[in-house]
């Protein structure tokens, strides 16, 4: 029997009032999920790319990551708003979007995004958008909040129009997202959680080695303080001039699972012994995440494992990334490159990015990214992910070192999606240039950290009013301008996100400076 609403076998469409659910993480649950994923792949080619096919996309912007580390990020519940860029999918006139959040989104923020839609009226789009909220700002992941609310799951299911094929889009995919997929009877456009470990820090290094991609000297699969100390000593012996090393938890993210170890100074005849490194740990290991005690950091490393690698130095050093996509049919695409801006302890925390990466090395990065993506595809990975690099210029030549794989969406995902939806251009991985249909190039600067204490108290209504008065907006006629995100975090945390699109990198920076200066002046 077919459930004609979704097009998937009735046997894999469960609800609490229809059948007993398989136990969490059971083989039965995994089998149901695999069956749904296989059906999604079979239908993807005919349905998904056609803008006039009726379909529903359920967006779950849950950061299902280490919640203890996430709590260190101010306004983190509003980071779910970054995936509001996917409201641009409503430009397809028969597409419905269901968007679920921890806390309600102010209607003016929704209106702001719908106003950006090219060729679709806000009214038409609003009829095809359903918003749900858990009304819960607590520090557990959004997906876990949804799973704890069976009536909400029922309302999500009821929101899907009859006759539509549907799938889930998530920030990252863990066992919790798989469980939600099974309860909703929907596949996920993302990596099977059984493969999620491929993106941890240790396995990233192994994949880089298997793909013959250069990476920093280092050691993986470390689970004890003693393992870390031995690795630090081995690194120093390999490179006596090394001043710093990076210690990373396998499941860390955005630099907040990292720590920097500063080697103690030693005289010419003095060697670094295990005892000396161990004794220096309390003061020589600096944790990147604010207010995360070293003891907790080490407990997380002992639980999840981690790596130690050399801190790469260079007079001219950049931190680019490559964003890749593997569709359900196994097709690999290099969709963007970025030069990331990093801050925090020794530049470990993501602050923003320029798109695209420097033309001097963007094509080379794309080529390396493709090798890694093909290796991941061969292991069954699908969806969006990114690969981070450190690039150092030596004697007019750039050397690139792969740092980590992020098998999830990230800080460069939503800015590129917004550019893509607004301009409908394409990034050429061979020359590192993004061009629209008219042949013009486009660039942007994006940040999640437009953050000043004087911004506190500005409501979403205030921001929109300021933006309209000072023309801080995206202009569809010139295809340049400013798009805001993280608007919900502004009033309480003084924090805002922005994507500044320009015809040149300089124009993009000009829009950013205008935006920042205008907000500062308005707050004075």
Q: What is the pLDDT of residue 152?
A: 97
Residue 19 has pLDDT above 60, yes or no: no
- pLDDT score for 219: 97
Model pLDDT for residues 295-333, shown as the tens digit of each residue: 999 999 999 999 999 999 988 999 999 999 999 999 999
Query: What pLDDT score does 37 carry?
Result: 92
Rounded to whole angstroms, how far apart are CA atoms 91 and 309? 45
Rounded to 10°, the helix 274-284/225-238 angle is 110
Query: 208 near 35, Cβ under 8 Å?
Result: no
Task: Give residue 15's pLDDT.
Answer: 43
Burial zone of 62 (CB within 10 Å; 0-12 exposed, 13-18 middle, 19+ buried): buried
> Based on the number of CB atoms within 10 Å of its own CB, is 253 exposed (0-12), middle (13-18) or buried (19 or more)?
buried
- Residue 54 or 279, more confident: 54
Least confident window among 114-118, 250-254, 301-305? 250-254
Q: Strand ranges (DSSP E) for 115-265?
A: 129-133, 165-170, 218-222, 244-249, 258-262
Q: Is the pLDDT of residue 69 over 80?
A: no
What is the reported pLDDT for 360? 94
- Tens of pLDDT, residues 135-172: 999 999 999 999 999 999 999 999 999 989 999 999 99
- Arithmetic mean of pLDDT over the chain: 90
Residue 401 CA to residue 2 CA, distance in Å, equals 50
Q: Which residues of 76-103 are buried (b: 16+ CB within 10 A; e: fewer)?
A: bbbbbbbbbbbbbbbbbeebbbbbbbbb
- CA angle in degrees (0–180, nearest 5) for 487-345-323: 60
* Global pTM value: 0.90
List of residues 6+ apart from 88 with CB closer than 8 A? 113, 116, 117, 417, 418, 421, 422
Which pLDDT value is given to residue 346? Answer: 55
Region 424-442: what's the mean pLDDT? 96
Rounded to whole angstroms, the Cα distance separating 89 from 57 reads: 9
Residue 10 has pLDDT above 60, yes or no: no
Two tokens, residue 42:
């079979």
- Percent of all residues in the chain with a pLDDT value above 70, rounded to a whole number: 93
User: Coil, helix or strand for 481?
Assistant: strand
pLDDT over threshold 50, residue 464: yes
SS3 sequence, 349-410? EEEEEEECCCCCCHHHHHHHHHHHHHHHHCCCCCEEEEEEEEEEEECCEEEEEEEEEECCCC
């Amino acid at each position: 029997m077919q459930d004609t609403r979704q097009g998937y076998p009735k046997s894999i469409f469960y609800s609490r009032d229809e059948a007993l659910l398989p136990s969490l993480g059971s083989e039965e649950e995994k089998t149901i999920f695999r069956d749904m994923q296989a059906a999604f792949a079979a239908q993807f080619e005919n349905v998904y790319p056609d803008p006039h096919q009726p379909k529903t996309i359920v967006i779950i912007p849950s950061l299902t990551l280490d919640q203890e580390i996430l709590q260190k990020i101010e306004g983190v519940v509003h980071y779910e708003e970054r995936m509001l860029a996917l409201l641009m999918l409503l430009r397809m006139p028969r597409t419905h979007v269901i968007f679920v959040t921890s806390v309600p989104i102010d209607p003016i923020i929704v209106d702001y995004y719908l106003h950006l839609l090219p060729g679709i009226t806000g009214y038409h789009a609003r009829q095809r958008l359903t918003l749900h909220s858990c009304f819960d700002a607590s520090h557990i992941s959004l997906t876990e909040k949804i799973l704890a609310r069976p009536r909400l799951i029922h309302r999500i299911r009821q929101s899907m129009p009859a006759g539509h094929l549907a799938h889930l889009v998530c920030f990252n995919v863990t066992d919790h997202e798989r469980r939600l997929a099974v309860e909703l009877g929907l596949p996920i456009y993302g990596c099977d959680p059984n493969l999620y470990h491929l993106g941890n820090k240790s396995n990233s290094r192994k994949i880089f080695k298997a793909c013959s991609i250069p990476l920093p000297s280092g050691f993986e699969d470390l689970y004890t303080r003693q393992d870390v100390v031995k690795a630090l000593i081995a690194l120093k012996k390999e490179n006596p001039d090394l001043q710093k090393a990076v210690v990373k938890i396998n499941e860390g993210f955005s630099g907040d699972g990292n720590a920097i170890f500063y080697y103690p100074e030693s005289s010419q005849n003095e060697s670094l012994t295990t005892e000396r490194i161990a004794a220096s740990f309390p003061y020589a290991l600096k944790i990147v995440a604010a207010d995360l005690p070293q003891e907790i950091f080490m407990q997380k490393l002992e639980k999840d494992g981690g790596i130690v690698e050399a801190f790469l130095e260079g007079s001219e050093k950049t931190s680019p990334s490559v964003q890749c996509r593997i569709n359900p049919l196994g097709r690999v695409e290099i969709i963007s490159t970025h030069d990331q801006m990093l801050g925090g302890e020794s530049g470990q925390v993501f602050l923003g990015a320029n798109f695209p990466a420097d033309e001097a090395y963007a094509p080379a990065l794309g080529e390396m990214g493709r090798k890694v993506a093909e290796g991941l595809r061969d292991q069954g990975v699908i969806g969006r992910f990114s690969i981070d690099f450190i690039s150092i210029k030596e004697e007019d030549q750039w050397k690139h070192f792969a740092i980590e794989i992020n098998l999830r969406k990230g800080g460069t995902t939503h800015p590129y999606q917004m550019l893509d939806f607004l301009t409908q251009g394409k990034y050429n991985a061979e020359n590192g240039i993004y061009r629209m249909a008219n042949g013009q190039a486009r660039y942007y600067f994006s940040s999640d950290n437009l953050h000043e204490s004087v911004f506190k108290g500005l409501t979403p209504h205030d921001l929109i009013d300021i933006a309209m008065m000072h023309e801080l907006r995206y202009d569809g006629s010139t295809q340049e301008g400013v798009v805001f995100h993280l608007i919900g975090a502004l009033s309480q945390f003084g924090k805002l996100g922005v994507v500044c699109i320009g015809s040149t990198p300089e124009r993009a920076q000009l829009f950013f400076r205008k935006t920042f200066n205008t907000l500062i002046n308005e707050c004075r």
